[in-house]
């Protein structure tokens, strides 16, 4: 998901996250569009919007709204989480990053998740991902989407947080048909799975195509 230089005269758009890996993913969504992605750090924005909302889409919309208001510009933001049906009400995908406590690091989150899943075997270890993306301009939400990703399982091994490509859970989200965890999948394998990020990219690009023709921004 490497970025390319923005076209001359491109419209600035804030990548609404302080996470470098997520910034890279959001920039990939916008690649080739007449937009000039900028990070909060480059604009001197230090305050991260508080997550709020009953769904990932609502949270993404609130983030995009707050970031765009802070930057007085276009902004794109996202929110996602792991879906674990076997855990029922003991798991909330919205709290995937915080479920092990506010001070937990990735290794601690990984151990905690594997402990939670230890009683389950086979299909009971089913796991998928849900991701939402929203676009806002100076406090007004322009568009948002929420998609569910492919279904795999939580591997029963220790995982490898060093290879999690920006998110620890991807190192144990396993796809038996490929014999790989999510972070090991090739672009072709992700396409075969109809990966949520690839589908979101299509939606974002379609939106900005219409946005440009109607004189938005």
pLDDT tens track for 113-146? 999 999 999 999 999 999 999 999 999 999 999 9
Give a yes or no: residue 68 inside a domain.
Answer: yes
Mean pLDDT of 95-105: 88
Find the distance separating the first CA and the last CA of the chain, reported in whole Å: 26
**CA nearest to 56, candidates 38, 39, 81, 21:** 81
Give a yes or no: residue 3 inside a domain.
Answer: no
pLDDT tens, 42-92? Answer: 999 887 788 889 999 999 999 999 999 999 999 999 999 999 999 999 999
CATH code of residue 199: 3.90.950.10
pLDDT tens, 16-39? Answer: 999 888 999 999 999 999 999 999
Domain enclosing residue 54, as ranges: 11-213
Cα angle, residue 57 at apex, residues 51 and 63 outer, rounded to 5°: 40
Cα angle, residue 22 at apex, residues 138 and 127 outer, rounded to 5°: 120
Give a yes or no: residue 112 inside a domain.
Answer: yes
Torsion of CA 80, 198, 155, 104, to 10 degrees: -30
Give a yes or no: residue 38 inside a domain.
Answer: yes
pTM of the model: 0.88
Q: Give the integer Cα–Cα distance in Å for 103 and 109.
A: 10
Mean pLDDT, the chain, integer:
89
Q: How many domains is the chain built from? A: 1
Active site residues: 79
Give a yes or no: residue 4 inside a domain.
Answer: no
Q: Is the pLDDT of residue 168 over 90?
A: no
Give a yes or no: residue 138 inside a domain.
Answer: yes
Give a yes or no: residue 104 inside a domain.
Answer: yes
């Amino acid at each position: 998901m490497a970025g390319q230089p923005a076209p001359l005269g491109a419209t600035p758009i804030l990548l609404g996250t302080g996470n470098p890996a997520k910034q890279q993913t959001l920039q990939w969504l916008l690649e080739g569009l007449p937009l000039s992605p900028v990070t909060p750090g480059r604009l001197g924005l230090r305050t991260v919007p508080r997550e709020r909302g009953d769904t990932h889409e609502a949270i993404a919309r609130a983030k995009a709204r707050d970031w765009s208001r802070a930057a007085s510009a276009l902004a794109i933001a996202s929110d996602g989480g792991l879906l674990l049906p076997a855990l029922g009400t003991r798991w909330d995908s919205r709290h995937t990053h915080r479920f092990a406590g506010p001070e937990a690091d990735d290794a601690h989150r990984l151990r905690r998740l594997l402990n939670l899943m230890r009683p389950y075997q086979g299909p009971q270890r089913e796991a998928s991902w849900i991701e939402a993306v929203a676009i806002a301009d100076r406090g007004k939400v322009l568009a948002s989407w929420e998609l569910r990703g492919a279904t795999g399982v939580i591997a029963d091994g220790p995982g490898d947080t060093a290879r999690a490509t920006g998110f620890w859970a991807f190192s144990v989200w396993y796809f038996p048909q490929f014999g790989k965890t999510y972070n090991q999948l090739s672009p072709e394998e992700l396409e075969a799975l109809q990966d949520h990020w690839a589908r979101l990219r299509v939606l974002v690009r379609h939106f900005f195509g219409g946005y440009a023709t109607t004189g938005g921004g």
